[in-house]
Chain A
Amino acid sequence: MKTVLPAPDISRAIVRIAHEILERFNGADSLTLLGIPTRGAHLATRIAKAIDAIEGGQVAVGTLDVTMHRDDLRTRSPKALLPTVIPSAGVEGRNIVLVDDVLFSGRTIRAALDALGEIGRPMTVSLAVLVDRGHRELPIKADFVGKNIPTSRSEIIKVNLAEVDGIDEVTISEGVAK
């Protein structure tokens, strides 16, 4: 197991993503961050804090659980649902930034787009991820990336965040070859 992103790099990546998001949308007024539980939700909260520190306001932040919209539900045992919290401003006409920890096949994000479509019609939807590890199975790309980490399919990327794992770090390890 090798650490590819230590804690200081994660903090810097979050601040940089916050700046990039603000630059793209000319401020935080129309912005809503939606994190995908579990770790994406914590990342969204951290990016929101960084945005608030820069702008001095309070950017809308929530969570979006995609379990019920996944296309691989029937290949595993049913999972417990995680919280979905949509900020009071809703999604209608907003610039939504989805936040997740790792972008891999893109299927989670496809499910998130479907879930979002059920709720309303945002002005734009973009995607921020801490790690993009490649191997997309769908035409989906991230707009804001903490770090691109080229991997082989069998490797395992693990994002640890202090809120859930007690430590901030991203590790890579050799998985079992399929």
Chain B
Amino acid sequence: MKHLLSINDLSREDAILILDTAAELARISDGPMKKLPTLRGRTIVNLFAEDSTRTRISFEAAAKRLSADVINFAARGSSLSKGESLKDTALTLQAMGADAVVIRHPASGAPARLANNQWMTGAVVNAGDGTHEHPSQALLDAFTIRKHLAKGAADLSGLRVAIVGDILHSRVARSNVLLLTKLGAHVTLVAPPTLLPFGVDSWPVTISYDLDSVISSVDTVMMLRIQQERMHEIFFPSAREYTRYYGLNRDRVNSLKPKAIIMHPGPMNRGLEITAEAADSARSVIVEQVSNGVSVRMAILYLLLGGAPIESGN
């Protein structure tokens, strides 16, 4: 594994190795060892051409706990906002000796472009590109589900997961569908028809327009954010109507299975896709997703950068 661009790059075994490594890292960094020397002297650049709080902070924390040097590179306040091309940015990063670039970009495919040209030799980690993929988020979601519900199994066989809301604009949903089904879970997408992407019927999932008929049979309900910044048309009549049909409220929480968990990749629109009561309920693992994110990203960085360089530099 040289880059992490898409869940499609991972075999089931790769994914389980990442989750197992994250589990062990979570255990040692909760307990005896806060900081590990593994990536000392390596430089990781966080290149965020799109706003993000938790993903950027999470990658930064993960890199620092592994003793890597971190350079943060945000769109605002850098030459990106002056119109510098991705190529010139990549050449700059290469000249600075970046061993890895964690990239978030509004254009789908930007990380792959960075990885597949000879602009730079470092590893590329996709931290969310357009409406394409967000693999580290899917890995931390799978980690969280496995920890709560898999009863010690390595994968998610037999578990049922509902992903609810704005599937159309969601890279989190795309990566999760790929990863969760790879790990044996059964995924149901729940959304109004206008918020399902073209070609969704070829995905390995069940599709429903009715949250109430799905909610009582799933082990995990994953609420997605309504991405107003990407919505340039009208996808549903009103926010109130969306909330009524697709929002997670008290009644729907009460009809969940006894051990089912509530997830949300954040940031939440409280009152729109999820009520504050549901978000803060005992079944919600939303805050835990954030801390699991650090362990999972440590595992990703360790597995990409910890070993021998795959292509030797000479």
Please measure, in the bound complex, the distance between the C-alpha atom of A86 and the C-alpha atom of B28, giving whole angstroms.
Answer: 9
Residue of A83, A91, A118 near B24 (CB, 8 A) is A83
Are A77 and B308 within 8 A (Cβ)? Answer: yes
Residue of A69, A75, A76, A84 near B32 (CB, 8 A) is A84
Are B20 and A78 within 8 A (Cβ)? Answer: no
Residues of A within 8 A of B242 (CB): none
Please measure, in the bound complex, the distance between the C-alpha atom of A91 and the C-alpha atom of B33, giving whole angstroms.
Answer: 12
Task: Identify the closest chain B residue to A120 (Cβ).
Answer: B32
Are A81 and B21 within 8 A (Cβ)? Answer: yes
Are A81 and B308 within 8 A (Cβ)? Answer: no
Are B24 and A82 within 8 A (Cβ)? Answer: yes
Please encode chain A, from 82 to 106, with 1 for each CB lying within 8 Å of some chain B CB and 0 for all others.
1110100011000000000000000
Please encode chain B, from 6 to 50, with 1 for each CB lying within 8 Å of some chain A CB and 0 for all others.
000000000001001100110110011111111000000000000
Please measure, in the bound complex, the distance between the C-alpha atom of A90 and the C-alpha atom of B32, giving whole angstroms.
Answer: 8
Are B24 and A81 within 8 A (Cβ)? Answer: yes
Contacts of A110-148 to chain B: CB distance below 8 A: 114-115, 118-120
Residues of B within 8 A of A81 (CB): 20-21, 24-25
Are A76 and B307 within 8 A (Cβ)? Answer: yes
Is A164 engaged at the interface, CB distance under 8 Å to the other chain?
A: no
CB distance from A117 to the nearest CB of B (A): 10
Given A114-B37, A118-B32, A119-B32, A73 contacting B306 (CB threshold 8 A): yes
Are A73 and B33 within 8 A (Cβ)? Answer: no
Q: How many residues of A contact B (CB 8 A)?
A: 23
Q: How many residues of B contact A (CB 8 A)?
A: 22
CB distance from A62 to the nearest CB of B (A): 10
CB distance from A120 to the nearest CB of B (A): 8
CB distance from B14 to the nearest CB of A (A): 11
- What residues of chain B have their CB less than 8 Å away from a CB belonging to chain A? 17, 20-21, 24-25, 27-28, 31-38, 66, 302-303, 306-309
Are A78 and B24 within 8 A (Cβ)? Answer: no
Task: Identify the closest chain B residue to A69 (Cβ).
Answer: B37
Residue of A68, A76, A90 near B302 (CB, 8 A) is A68
CB distance from A115 to the nearest CB of B (A): 7
Are A65 and B24 within 8 A (Cβ)? Answer: yes
Given A68-B38, A74-B307: 18 more A-B contacts, CB < 8 Å: A68-B36, A68-B37, A69-B36, A69-B37, A73-B306, A74-B309, A76-B307, A76-B308, A77-B307, A81-B21, A82-B24, A83-B24, A83-B27, A84-B24, A84-B28, A115-B33, A119-B32, A119-B33
Is A80 engaged at the interface, CB distance under 8 Å to the other chain?
A: yes
CB distance from A162 to the nearest CB of B (A): 24
Task: Identify the closest chain B residue to A111 (Cβ).
Answer: B37
Most chain A CB within a 10 A radius of its CB, from B21, B28, B36: B28
Residues of A within 8 A of B21 (CB): 80-81
CB distance from B100 to the nearest CB of A (A): 13
Task: Identify the closest chain A residue to B20 (Cβ).
Answer: A80
Are A84 and B27 within 8 A (Cβ)? Answer: yes
